[in-house]
Amino acid sequence: MSKRSVLFVLLAGFSLMLSGCITAMEWSTRDEDDDEYYPPKNVIVEKKEKNKNAKGYNPELADEEEEEIPDIYEVTVDMSYKEADLLLRSALEEANFKIIKVSHVTKGMKEQGRTDFWEDMNIYLVCKLSDGYFVLRHNPQLVGFCPYRIYTYKNKDGLLVVGMVKPSIAVRYMGNPDMKAIEILKKHDIQLKNIIDEITSK
């Protein structure tokens, strides 16, 4: 057998070996450490009529289809804080969110002698501990975004503002992309927005 034939046979064998390796490769998003993990299905968000009293703050808008909810979502309502507080607590409990703490910002400012400050400014720290595991297990640095924040204050017109910082803002700081965590955070965006819309529409 000539050298050229030997070389041809070797190259052919090498090519078959490579093609065998390539066809055996498989791409999977499955988490081997978690048998209950499945890649998320596409979620279709039904567009509802926009609340006329709602506004959002979103300095860097992402893709229009995906960016349904602004980073900071607020609704203005003619309601007392006491009434809003009762409705908010009830709606959060019904949706299985736990209030960890309420920070009474206005009260603290008044104790410092500040009289020219916003009335009824409060921050509710809320979470779902059952989902927190999936959000934080691969990205512990996201604990700075959990619990989530819902807040209130009275604006210059004397109307109560109820708002939130969108939970999925944490995705921007995710070092290890985790599809299950992203799905949960986006689901919480919608749930908290719906709670705010619900209590301010009464």
State pLDDT tens for residues 122-159.
999 999 989 999 999 999 999 999 999 999 999 999 99
pTM: 0.69
pLDDT per residue as tens digits for the range 55-112: 765 555 444 445 579 999 999 999 999 999 999 999 999 999 999 999 999 999 999 9
Chain CA centroid to CA 173, Å: 12
Model confidence band, residue 46 (pLDDT cutoffs 50, 70, 90): very low
Taking alpha carbons only, the member of 196, 186, 115, 199 closest to residue 150 is 196
174, 146, 178, 149: which is closest to 164 by C-alpha?
Answer: 149
